[in-house]
Amino acid sequence: MRGNVAATGSTDPDFEQMVRRTCHRELTIEEWFDPDDPDLEQQQQEEEEEEERPQPGLVQRHAVELLQIQDRDGLIAEPEYDRLGFAFDLDPEGKVVPRHHGISSEHRQRSKNLSHSHQRQQRIDRVEAAAKAVSDKEDVARGKQQRILDDNRAAERRLAVELMDKSAAAFDGVDGGGVSQRQITTWMREATVGHFAKVNAPLLKAFIGVRANDAAKPPRGGYPGKLKEVDAVPGANTLIRLAYDARATDPKMKRLPPKAAPTAPVLPSPTVRSLDDPATAGRKASECLGSDEWCSLADSVLNPNAPPRNAAADASSRSDLLQAKLRARLPAHIRARVKDPAKQDHLIWDWAARNLGAAAAVVERLGHSKADLEAACDGRSLLAKVGAFETVGAGNAHLSGAYLHYDTEEGHFIRAGKVVRFNDDPMVMGKRGQEHAVNSKLDKATDMDSVFYTSYPAKSVSSARPLGRKRLGYSDNLTHHVAVSFDPHDQTTVDALTTGNLLEWPDDVVEFVAKLNIAGCTSTADKQLHMVGYLFELVYDLALSRSANISRSPGFESALGIFSGSDE
């Protein structure tokens, strides 16, 4: 845990630092304050006026016990929190989220000491169990292959010795200095359809199988029936005929290969991420705004039709504050929107975190951030009033990038979106708005699955709640605005956004993006521009008011391979 000790030179725990500032949700009154204290109201007033701490609540009363449990087990399990009366965690939908404490649920746990001997041993046990499962699976497969080899040997012996009067001693000595497999194959060539008709079906399948590319897998559609000798005419699909036709082929599987030696278990890295890692820090927003060259390039390629840029004296400090707020919101966004733990730790999130400074500088330069960012409490909007944003129209409809939808009745932005297209259509961002308007009519089944379209259907839709989902408004009352736009056909723009001039592009990220399969892209730069669109979509999504934001999409869908659950 961080911030355990209060001021410099003090040895007392600082509960404000140790508990409240490491929580992912606001503590309840009962958890932080003592509800039985008659002077609670007065104490709260004193805290507000004199910054004095009230009587201890659940956290402070049980701090020692919680730390003892943490020291003993390396984590505080969910039943312990339940026993002490802590409130359940809730997801953005208001549903209870259990924090399972098994080793396979590290990403869902509240607290854990990853270097604790008990936790390290659990991870080792998990690796060994996984290795045993792989070994057991291999043993099952090898046993199946061995049975096929044994059945093939039985089929060959039945044909050669029992039906064709070959030497049993010679056959049985094949593996011990007797006749070779080549000799067995020579004998098989002498076998007739009648001979194969006298071998039972399981042995015929094995005889065919070892001569196929994969003995353990039957042919597509499975093996045919054996039928009778009279049915085994040339070209017939019967076991007898298939075995007869394969008789002159040497077996492709003659014996099992030796089993690979077990490898020592490797202790995996814990499934946690730290966006405070200096490797993902990137440039500060103020550094970008402090460069005249950077500002000039950004102004020329991003939102080219926007009004004069914000050059206020406090722009640098404001942009750094915006960057810090965006960065603080990113981990919760990832946890809430990405269900697969492996994809929560994807390198694309590190790239996004690395470029939050540059993105915050762009937002500030465009005048899109709230006038008083310091007053924007957790979960509140960080964006300026709607008048600061261009409406998608004739002058910018052809551009790609990120956009916003604004509810004119409620007076707030409700979602961010992204569109990047490389065709010659003069309407890109404009057409995306038209597509949203059409989809809000809910004429297709896929539209009925969308949180966006069912929350804001067209007024013409007969049912206000198509899927039992609460209607929040009408699409007719939404306006479409430019967040950050760019021209993917302009080479200066492409170079500025993809070669490290405006954004950072580590080699491993470029290599990863180059391998993505994204429709309409013919070059790595095209794919990078999609990532740029996703980056600004993410930034504006993070900046929205939590209560007004209806999106459930994680962003970076093409990179993460996540398309289900999208609100598009």
- Say if residues 166 and 160 touch (Cβ distance below 8 Å): yes
Look at residues 278, 283, 280, 289 and name the one whose alpha carbon lies nearest to residue 500.
283
- List per-residue pLDDT tens for the chain, 568 residues long: 333 444 444 445 555 555 555 565 556 655 655 555 555 566 566 555 554 444 457 877 888 888 888 888 888 888 888 888 888 777 667 777 777 666 666 655 666 777 778 777 877 887 888 888 888 888 888 898 899 999 998 999 899 888 888 888 778 775 544 567 788 888 898 999 999 999 999 999 999 988 876 666 777 778 899 999 999 999 999 999 999 999 988 888 888 878 877 665 555 554 444 555 555 678 899 999 999 999 999 999 999 888 878 777 788 899 999 999 999 999 999 988 998 887 888 999 999 999 999 999 999 999 999 988 988 877 899 999 999 999 999 889 889 999 999 999 999 999 999 999 987 777 788 888 888 888 888 888 778 878 888 889 888 876 544 455 678 889 899 999 999 999 999 999 999 999 989 999 999 999 999 999 998 898 999 999 999 999 999 999 999 999 999 998 999 999 998 865 444 4
- Say if residues 187 and 180 touch (Cβ distance below 8 Å): no
User: Judging by DSSP bridges, how do beta strands 412-419 and 478-486 pair with one another?
Assistant: unpaired
For residue 98, give both structure tokens.
């259990």
pTM summary value: 0.56
pLDDT value, residue 3: 38
| Burial (CB count <10 Å: 0-12, 13-18, 19+), residue 516 | middle
Rounded to whole angstroms, how far apart are CA atoms 16 and 26? 12
Q: Quick one: CA dihedral 553, 558, 562, 565, positive or negative?
A: positive
For residue 120, give both structure tokens.
């390290």
Rounded to whole angstroms, how far apart are CA atoms 376 and 445? 39
- CB count within 10 Å of CB 274 equals 9
pLDDT value, residue 250: 86
Rg of the chain on CA atoms, in Å:
34
Alpha helix locations (H) across 440-523?
445-448, 451-455, 491-498, 507-514
Rounded to whole angstroms, how far apart are CA atoms 243 and 408? 75
Backbone angles phi, psi at 539, to 5 degrees: -60, -45
